[in-house]
Amino acid sequence: MRWPFDRRRGKEKKPMIRRRMPWAVTVLGAAMALGCEETPTSPDERMFSETETASFAVADSSSAVVDTFVGAITVSQAATDSVQVVATRQADRQEDLAAVLVEMSLQDNVVQLTAANPSNVQGVSVDFDLTGPADMNLELRTGVGAVACQGRPTEDWLIDVGVGNIALVVPDDLNATVDLRTGVGSVEVEFPVTGSVSSGSVIGVIGTGADGVIVADCGVGNIALLRESTSGRSSRRVVEE
């Protein structure tokens, strides 16, 4: 994946590390996207769950870095000077909840949220739900799961999904540079774009492009960049449809 040149910092942006999905997982994801009737239990249907919450006071231009192996990530903006986090462990078996490791911390105005499955237990996942200030930068990664963001990017939104959909609901007067790509799926953008537009990628400038950068990459999944006024629904609802 190619990453945009950061004009504000005068250097090339560091790429997010793509989690290389095994061949079998990639094929399974494609089958799910194509409507295969027999699929494993989805993370939302797991039988057991535990919820953990955290709150972090942040200064201006904070960042949130989220990385989960399997699970959904949801982000919304609010008039606040803190980042509120809800992390939900889910498992098919209750005893497997303890096998999932969740770490949440704040360092140098960056909220770090990480979920790991070091024992490779099957049938487990971790969802992250964040509410943060309007100028919060985002770096979001999930191996399998959906990502939903609602708000206005003022600097960088960087999103990396192995298998899953991405839904971004933004203001109608968005001014951003966008680089949206999917390997298997489609890209929908409800804004005029100056640049390259195809069914599987949209790369270019919306409006003046001066406000922020949105980079989203899917291995298997759809990407939607929607107007708040016309979507008539939250990013969470869009990604579930």
Q: Give the least confident one: 42-46, 83-87, 180-184, 209-213.
A: 42-46
Q: Give the 3-state secondary structure of residue 98.
A: helix
Q: What is the pLDDT of residue 137?
A: 97
Residue 213: predicted pLDDT: 97
| Residue pair 69/121 in contact by the 8 Å Cβ criterion | no
Taking a C-beta distance cutoff of 8 angstroms, is the pair 39, 113 a contact? Answer: no
Q: What is the pLDDT of residue 41?
A: 46
- 207: buried, middle or exposed (CB in 10 Å: 19+, 13-18, 0-12)? middle
Q: What is the pLDDT of residues 210-230, one digit of tens each?
A: 989 999 999 999 999 999 987
Phi, psi dihedrals of residue 34, rounded to the nearest 5°: -90, 5
pLDDT digits (tens, 9 = 90+) for 42-53: 555 678 999 999
Q: What is the pLDDT of residues 124-142, one digit of tens each?
A: 999 999 999 999 999 999 9
**Position 89 confidence tier, pLDDT thresholds 50, 70, 90:** very high
pLDDT bucket at 231, cuts 50 / 70 / 90: low
Amino acid in position 35: G
Report the distance separating Cα 217 and Cα 209, nearest Å. Answer: 19
Taking all residues of the chain, what is their mean pLDDT, rounded to a whole number? 84
Residue 26 has pLDDT above 60, yes or no: no
198: DSSP letter: -
Q: Where are the domains of the chain?
A: 46-145, 156-235
Instruction: Answer whether residue 239 shows pLDDT above 70.
Output: no
Q: Could you tell me if 217 and 165 are in contact, meaning their C-beta atoms sit under 8 angstroms apart?
A: no
d(C-alpha 199, C-alpha 94), whole Å: 42
Residue 31 has pLDDT above 70, yes or no: no
8 A C-beta contact, residue 116 and residue 151: no
Q: Where are the beta strands (DSSP E) in the chain?
A: 5-6, 11-12, 48-57, 63-70, 73-77, 82-91, 101-107, 110-116, 124-132, 137-144, 147-150, 156-163, 166-170, 176-184, 187-189, 194-197, 201-206, 212-220, 223-227
**One-letter identity of residue 28:** L
Q: Which pLDDT does position 35 carry in this prediction?
A: 38
CA Rg, the chain, in Å?
A: 17
| pTM for this model (two decimals) | 0.81
pLDDT at 11: 37
pLDDT of residue 144: 97
Query: Regarding predicted confidence, which is higher, 20 or 78?
Result: 78
Half-sphere exposure of 45 (CA within 13 A, CB side): 4
H or E stretch at 236: helix 235-240
pLDDT band for 2, please (50, 70, 90 cuts). very low
The Cα–Cα gap between 218 and 159 comes to: 8
In the Cβ-directed half-sphere of 64, how many Cα atoms lie within 13 Å?
Answer: 32
What's residue 230's pLDDT? 76
More confident residue, 156 or 36: 156
At position 34, the amino acid (one-letter code) is L
Lowest model confidence (mean pLDDT) among 17-21, 42-46, 75-79, 136-140: 17-21
CA distance 51 to 174: 34
Q: Does the pLDDT at position 122 exceed 80?
A: yes
